[in-house]
Structure 1
């Protein structure tokens, strides 16, 4: 297996994981409307990246699997919603939210590095398709990182000082 194939696999796995985690965080913090809505939108970006990476993998002889699970329906979703409602009334959800934002940021940063690696390899091998993919998707991953960073900056003072 080539380095490009390994990077495609790692990126596919990372984007799939990020899509699922963003959906989980959106549901867990349903009472925080900005978190819920933005995380849901950002999860769609990562889910689209997963689809595009699977297509690119196919072009390179890889089967990268099924699209990300849509965890916004079903029993698990109902359980998360009830948990979010219960947690919304206690002071600890702020710390949980900061932890979730930190973890999302680190997941997005990992994906960003993989996008950069893929872009560099695509340039070196003159693979215009992979370069176009990285050029289209990487800016959205950077935006995911900026959002998590901004939310941590905005929320940390009020959450950490109020403990």
Structure 2
């Protein structure tokens, strides 16, 4: 296994985790409409990154593990939705939202670093396909980071001063 292979696998796993976490946050904070809708849209970007990374992995002979089973996602999604509705007017949901946004930001930042490493390795090895992939996907990851950062800046003063 070489460094590019390792980076492709790590990035695929990171995008999968980020997509899953974005969907979880969207469901958990369904009553926060902007969070719900934007997180859902951003999860689509990460799923598209996963698809494109899987294609790149196949072209480079990298075998990815099977995707995780999601047999109980429907039940869990319903529970998260009902919980978000039940606690909408308590201060704790705000703290939970800040924590979720922070975790999303850190996950997107980690992916951003891996996209940058992939781009640098692709450039050094003159792999135009991987460079095009990184150049296409990395800006969306940066956008995911900007959104979480903006939301934290906007919500933190309200939430933290109202406790």
Smaller-chain TM-score range?
over 0.9
Q: How does 1:84-163 map to 2 (within 5 A)?
A: 84-163=84-163
Shift of 1:88: 1.1
For the residues of structure 2 that align with 1:69 and 1:41, how far apart are their CA atoms?
Answer: 22
Q: Scaled by the length of structure 1, what TM-score is found?
A: 0.95
For the residues of structure 2 that align with 1:87 and 1:52, how far apart are their CA atoms?
Answer: 38
For the residues of structure 1 that align with 2:104 and 2:3, how far apart are their CA atoms?
Answer: 26
Corresponding residue for residue 59 of structure 1: 59
Task: List gaps (5 residues or longer) in structure 1.
Answer: none
CA RMSD of aligned residues (A): 1.6
For the residues of structure 1 that align with 2:34 and 2:114, how far apart are their CA atoms?
Answer: 28
Q: Scaled by the length of structure 2, what TM-score is found?
A: 0.95
Shift of 1:89: 2.6
Shift of 1:73: 5.7
For the residues of structure 1 that align with 2:71 and 2:104, how far apart are their CA atoms?
Answer: 17
Shift of 1:63: 1.7
Shift of 1:157: 0.4
Shift of 1:129: 0.5
Task: List gaps (5 residues or longer) in structure 2.
Answer: none
Runs of 4+ in 1 over 2 A off after TM superposition: 65-73
Shift of 1:65: 3.6
Distance 1:49 1:71, change over 3 A: farther
Shift of 1:146: 0.1
Q: Secondary structure at the match of 2:30?
A: coil
Report if aligned partners of 1:50, 1:67 keep a CA contact under 8 Å in 2. Answer: no
For the residues of structure 2 that align with 1:120 and 1:63, how far apart are their CA atoms?
Answer: 22
Shift of 1:132: 0.5
